[in-house]
Each structure stands twice: as C-alpha cells, then as structure tokens.
Chains A and B, each alone.
Chain A
Amino acid sequence: ETGVTQTPRHLVMGMTNKKSLKCEQHLGHNAMYWYKQSAKKPLELMFVYNFKEQTENNSVPSRFSPECPNSSHLFLHLHTLQPEDSALYLCASSQVFDRTYEQYFGPGTRLTVT
C-alpha cells in the first residue's frame, strides 16, 4: 500500500449504530487530519493530530470521536449520528516541519446515515 488509505470506502449506518472509519498513511508523516465534505460546501476541517496529539478540534459534535494511536493511523469513531452527517469523510497527512506542509489525501469514505 502506498500513500494514504481509508477503509471502508462506503458505509451505510442507522442512527443508533456505532461504526469506525480508519485511515492509514504510508508516507512517514507526523500529522493527520479528518475533513468532512458535504455537497456544495467547502471542505470542513474536523480534527488535526500532530505526533499523536490532538491539536485542532473544529467544534465537532461529540458523536464524532477521533483516535490516533500512532503517527500512521487515525480513526474516527461514530455513534448516534444524524442524517445530516451523511458526507464524504476525507483523511489527509502531512509532514509538520516540511517546508511546504503539503497535504496528501486518502480516497475518502462515503458515509450515509439512514
């Protein structure tokens, strides 16, 4: 595997379910991000982790719970979601002290909440 991978690619869940999204980066980066992309809206930053420590929480509801066990893996735990949470969830990584801070994105998980 190369780059940034995300699983599952598609997820349908009911409002009472609990599920998790997984992201893994194979680039040796030390920062990882969760973004939400809804139709017709700009990308919304959700969380940022640097060296496994959360550094940004963009006022995300508590029904979204991130976890970063190491610099290569990032999870987003989901519970009691709402239909408006249906979106494409994108993971990205970057090198914090890289001159460009360039981000590399995964393919996304298409989430549908029924």
Chain B
Amino acid sequence: KQEVTQIPAALSVPEGENLVLNCSFTDSAIYNLQWFRQDPGKGLTSLLLIQSSQREQTSGRLNASLDKSSGRSTLYIAASQPGDSATYLCAVRPPAWGGSYIPTFGRGTSLIVHP
C-alpha cells in the first residue's frame, strides 16, 4: 500500500526566503505526482503535476522535482511571500495498469510566511 510522507509538517519563515518542501512515497511505481495548495477551510488548488517520465515542472516561483527511483519529490518556492501561507499537499497517483488511478495524499506541510 502506497504511503506518502511530507516533511516538515509545519514551517514558519520570514518573507523573502527560498523554501524546500519534501514529499516521499514508499512505492516508486507511480503514474504521476501532483502538488496542491490549500488555504484554511478551502478546497485544493492544483499547483504542479509531474508525470512519472518527467524530472521537474516549473510555474512562476514554484519548481517541483521528481526522483521516482528514490521515491521523492520536492517543491521549491523562491522568494517566499506572505501570500504563500497555506498548507501544501502532495498526491501520488498509481500506474494506470493497476486498475485504479485514485491518488494517495500526504498530510501536508503547513507554511506560514511572516512579513
């Protein structure tokens, strides 16, 4: 059974810092990995999706990398801003041939960026 772990569970940093959030998964046979952002009491907003054949994806100040063989992904946030404060979740999707495409989610990293 796939297990997804996110470290750290919580992070508080001053504005302007570059951040790395980590996601690890136990089964390297994945279809893709997706990073989400969740604001308090709200739904999930997709940030980046990396297919298993890809190494990284970038969107603005965000960069997500994937090392499938070691079961790891990192989300890099450059020049953090108070508006980046949220919980960041990663979700791993199993291979399509497995009969299920339901993702497994981590518990998330709660990020606070203070001015």
The A interface, classified by DSSP as helix, strand, loop or mixed, is loop
* Interface size in chain B (residues, C-beta < 8 A): 25
B51 at the interface (CB under 8 A from A): yes
Which chain B residues border A4 with CB–CB below 8 Å? 43
Which chain A residues border B34 with CB–CB below 8 Å? 102-103
B93 at the interface (CB under 8 A from A): yes
Stretch binding the partner chain, chosen from A40-48, A64-72, A74-82: A40-48
Most B CB contacts (10 A, CB to CB) among A48, A90, A99, A101 go to A101
B107 lies within 8 A of A40 (CB): yes
Q: Which of the four size classes fits the interface of chain A?
A: 20 to 34
Task: Report how far A114 CA is from B46 CA in the complex, Å.
Answer: 33
Task: Report how far A102 CA is from B35 CA in the complex, Å.
Answer: 11
A105-B45 CB under 8 A given contacts A42-B106, A43-B105, A56-B102: yes
